[in-house]
Structure 1
Amino acid sequence: MFDHPLSTPHAWADQAQVGDVLLFHFPSPDEPGPVLARPCLVIEESRNLRRRCLTLANSRPLWSISLVETSIDVIRPAELAAAGLDQSTAFDAYRALLISVHNASFAIHPETGTPIIGRLIGDSYERMQSVRAYLSTQSRIADRHRQELDNDLSGRGVTPRKPTLPEFPEE
């Protein structure tokens, strides 16, 4: 799942932004066999180890079960057309993945040279912003809880272990 080779940089990689819908070979533990390219929603942009990354929310059928707090539904015809979707779709931000824009699993369209198929508009865009705020709040709460736990441990003379990330040279 994490052993995808890196592709060469593409022009779209600098243009992709929050709210874009793009095609990515998103792994699914529920579906055996080859991983198909499916619409994914960019819910965050970041730099990770000096590389530009996108946080992608996978699409799923609208009728499938998911957490209401993290589901972004695209239903209205105008919103579906703007997003490049042909049927009602929900994006599940709960199972989002952080992916380098150089990951070879992006499904680049041969004619357009980009995996971007559309962009959220209207109510679905506003819903995405609400989900992003919810996830940010949950992350801050978890960070505060970890900090309180670290403070509690250090108050008892226990040194909490801090995770470290490996450094990779810039290519």
Structure 2
Amino acid sequence: MTLLAPLLDRWRLCAVLASAAMLAIAHAFQTFGGYAPCTLCLRQREVYWVAIALGVIFMAIVRLPGGPRWREATCWVLGLVFAVGVGIAVYHAGAEWKFWPGPTACASAGAGVDAAALSDFLAGARVRPPACDEAPWVFAGLSMAGWNALISLGLVALSVMAALRERSKR
């Protein structure tokens, strides 16, 4: 625990930085890897945007007069946000591996086509929108959604550890 102490003492900042890193990685896959995000990919990103916004707000709150009493609660809230991320990522990974159906609007069989894609199609290009029920990238047996679920679970665990550490300081 002593190695994690500095990280846990500044958990709000670390949560913001971890969330920003996850968004940067997702955008790098999109920009440099050519992996267009599906609907569930975008939902997973929303969790990190919420964590960044709340983390910044919480950093300000705990520095206000009387703010330190909110330190533990802010860690629990961040843990809850990351737990939502775990849920979305597990749902997405399960849909990719066909454990359950994904959203019908994002399925590979019934995906809609927008005007730009239709124009490209008419020009002769093969256009296929991203599907929530197909894993376009897999490493060590896990898709991007699977890795996101594990990382989000780790962020939940660190949030809980930070909250418990704050509680022990009182």
Q: TM-score, normalised by structure 2?
A: 0.29
Structure (1 or 2) with the larger CA radius of gyration: 2
Instruction: Compare the two structures and name the one with the higher helix fraction.
Output: 2
Give the structure with the higher percent strand.
1
